[in-house]
Structure 1
Amino acid sequence: MEKGSAMSLIIDKPAAPARQVPAKAAKRPAKRSGTPYAFLAPAMILFTLFLAAPIFYAGYLSLRKVQVSGLGLGAKSRTEVWAGLSNYARSLTDPDFLPSVLRVGAYGLIVVPTMLGLALLMALLLDAARTRESISKFARISIFLPYAVPAVVASLLWGFLYLPRVSPITDLFEAVGITAPNLLSSDLTLWAVANIAIWGGTGFNMIVIYTALRAVPTSLYESARIDGASDFTIAWRIKIPIVMPSLVMTFVFSLIATLQVFAEPMTLRPLANTISTTWTPLMKVYRDAFTRNDIYAAAATSVIIALATFIVSFGFLKLVGRRAFNQED
């Protein structure tokens, strides 16, 4: 056989048929389509039962009221009827509501900037000492440890330090001939409560910001140092802009926690007569529900607080979110 004919036979040789995928193998993804939902089902059920359902029930109660007929002594003398927006009107016009809102606003002006400023400063200091890893780990644990203490326990510990008769701080002041300030007085109560929140929340925010800093490539810092940038310039011009999304996130978390402050003043209240039962809006909800047994007004106030939290948080994200998060694009 000639060489040309042999080449033509090789070229004209039909290609091997493509391997066919069995029908059962093609149907396998369809059988597994429900697997993710099976894993999500426990969380979705718990979310529905313990978060979504109470929210809707609170909204339902906020639109109801009890109507008393006669002397209110019979079995059917008290009936639940439709109230419309009257409960919301009562909550908003309550003389104790606006002062509690203003008090929480002043509390937030103290807590949020101070806590985030300290968290950012500590994260930058820890990130600047990457070569001293052992000290960095110990410092991270020490700063984060107060966050692991429950708010009630932390309030009790600080309440012990605030009481003039039993506080060791008072003894230290008296040892140097200085009169110790009464931190539970009417002028300093706001600062005393804010101190507990700052002490407990700084560590969590520091970990979030520090984790974002650790994700930044060190080549950026090395390039900046070659160009003659100092550590302060690197922190101000490189590190802080890069971790801006983390700062926005921690600010929103801190804002939500501020609007829902309850544990600290509620725990300190038996120790000081300067903290009223309506010191914060959530304390007012607690008073209405469990002291006055007016769950309808309490539900309306809860819905107002939830809506205010959503509006403030969503508004802040719309205001600065695009500018902060688009840096990563």
Structure 2
Amino acid sequence: MSTPRSGSYGVKGAPYAFLLPAVTLFLLFFALPIGYALWLSLHKVHVSGLGLGAGARKEVWAGLENYTDALTDSELLRGALRVLGYGCLVVPLMLGLALLLALMLDSERVRLAPFTRLAIFLPYAVPGVVAALLWGFLYLPDVSPFYYVLDRLGLPQPDLLDGGPLYLAFTNIAVWGGTGFNMIVIYTSLRAIPAEVHEAAKLDGATPLQVALRIKIPMVAPSLVLTLFFSIIATLQVFNEPTTLKPLTNSVSTTWSPLMKVYQDAFAKGDVYAAAAEATLIALATLLVSFAFLRTANRRRQQEAAR
């Protein structure tokens, strides 16, 4: 009867040893902060008297009180509506432009394709705060060269940092920065389409427009779903653009978006318990929207495959 070698246990445990650093980092920097945020969201500070003596401020159990206050907070709800309107502008425009650019770059007639891809992708490499600050100064009439040109031409000079045009200003920043990444994802899927498919379409007399609409776009549908999924999540978590542009205009409040409301409650008001509950609700809403979107996309794909 043969006995197992002592080294066999080391070989079997090697995969777990390789996973240990990743699991440790996940627990320390992802699971533990989430657990602590959930714990904070279920507590509050109880102040006795003037709150000046020792033991006058105590952390007590609050249950779902913070969540109830967050769901009935008009500022948080208005911020969610603003983000919804912002997303209705950003997501279709950004993905439509990314798809159009990817189809153009995949055309046989395009020239300088590597340089064009790099030029379109380059804005994505610019940090979000830097991009928002750059565009913010271009929106200011006193320092923007665009307003100088409009003035010389005698054309109207809209104030993009006031009122309704503010949504267009935020949308422009997001589209400028995010189109390149989505274009690269879609373009990579287009390049993976077998050449035989294009040759068969040409033999059948299909025009480039018909090839794009009936062959290329349906075949890159999974990439479109992926980019749409990421874009929705990024839109729900908008924070850099309004926070960076806030010092340049009075039209952006400190609670313009839900994440700005969380930041205001946590660091300006010092109420980390309410902020934790709000952040948990935002994360839950993002999870539900993402789950519903992916489930709908999977159901449609299964229906199309069954036809």
Which interval holds the TM-score relative to the shorter structure? over 0.9
SS at structure 1 position matched to 2:184: helix
- Cross-structure match for 2:283: 306
Whole-Å separation in 1 of the counterparts to 2:227 and 2:47? 48
Gaps of 5+ in 2: none
> How many angstroms does 1:166 deviate by?
0.2
- Quick check: 1:153 aligned with 2:130? yes
Residue 168 of structure 2 aligns to which amino acid in structure 1? W
Q: Deviations over 1:70-114 (max 9, x none)?
A: 221112111111101110111111121111111000000000000
Q: Which 10-residue stretch deviates more, 28-37 or 279-288?
A: 28-37
Q: 1:242 to 1:302 in 2, by over 3 A?
A: same
Whole-Å separation in 1 of the counterparts to 2:219 and 2:2? 51
Whole-Å separation in 2 of the counterparts to 1:158 and 1:102? 24
SS at structure 2 position matched to 1:290: helix
Counterpart pick for 2:56 among 74, 77, 99: 77
SS at structure 2 position matched to 1:96: helix
Whole-Å separation in 1 of the counterparts to 2:125 and 2:73? 37
> How many angstroms does 1:247 deviate by?
0.5
- Quick check: 1:234 aligned with 2:211? yes
* TM-score, structure 1 as length reference: 0.88
- Quick check: 1:219 aligned with 2:199? no
Structure 1 vs Structure 2: percent identity of aligned residues?
58
SS at structure 2 position matched to 1:71: coil
Whole-Å separation in 1 of the counterparts to 2:4 and 2:196? 47
> How many angstroms does 1:256 deviate by?
0.3
SS at structure 1 position matched to 2:63: coil
- Quick check: 1:202 aligned with 2:179? yes
> How many angstroms does 1:42 deviate by?
1.9
Counting only pairs closer than 5 Å after superposition, residues 122-133 of structure 1 correspond to structure 2 as 122-129=101-108, 132=111
- Quick check: 1:251 aligned with 2:228? yes
SS at structure 2 position matched to 1:180: coil
SS at structure 2 position matched to 1:66: strand
Counting only pairs closer than 5 Å after superposition, residues 1-329 of structure 1 correspond to structure 2 as 30-129=9-108, 132=111, 135-324=112-301
* TM-score, structure 2 as length reference: 0.95
SS at structure 2 position matched to 1:32: helix
CA RMSD of aligned residues (A): 2.0
Residue 289 of structure 1 aligns to which amino acid in structure 2? A
Q: Deviations over 1:144-201 (max 9, x none)?
A: 0000000000001001100010000001101211131111011211110111011100
- Does structure 2 conserve the Cα–Cα contact (< 8 Å) formed by 1:160 and 1:167? yes
> How many angstroms does 1:327 deviate by?
7.2
Gaps of 5+ in 1: 1-21
Which is greater in Rg?
Answer: 1
Q: Which 10-residue stretch deviates more, 68-77 or 305-314?
A: 68-77
Whole-Å separation in 2 of the counterparts to 1:184 and 1:23? 79
- Does structure 2 conserve the Cα–Cα contact (< 8 Å) formed by 1:63 and 1:82? yes
Q: Which 10-residue stretch deviates more, 43-52 or 231-240?
A: 43-52
> How many angstroms does 1:231 deviate by?
0.7
Q: 1:36 to 1:150 in 2, by over 3 A?
A: same
SS at structure 2 position matched to 1:278: coil
Whole-Å separation in 1 of the counterparts to 2:109 and 2:7? 49
Q: 1:42 to 1:171 in 2, by over 3 A?
A: same
Q: 1:225 to 1:192 in 2, by over 3 A?
A: same
Whole-Å separation in 2 of the counterparts to 1:305 and 1:208? 27
Residue 279 of structure 2 aligns to which amino acid in structure 1? S
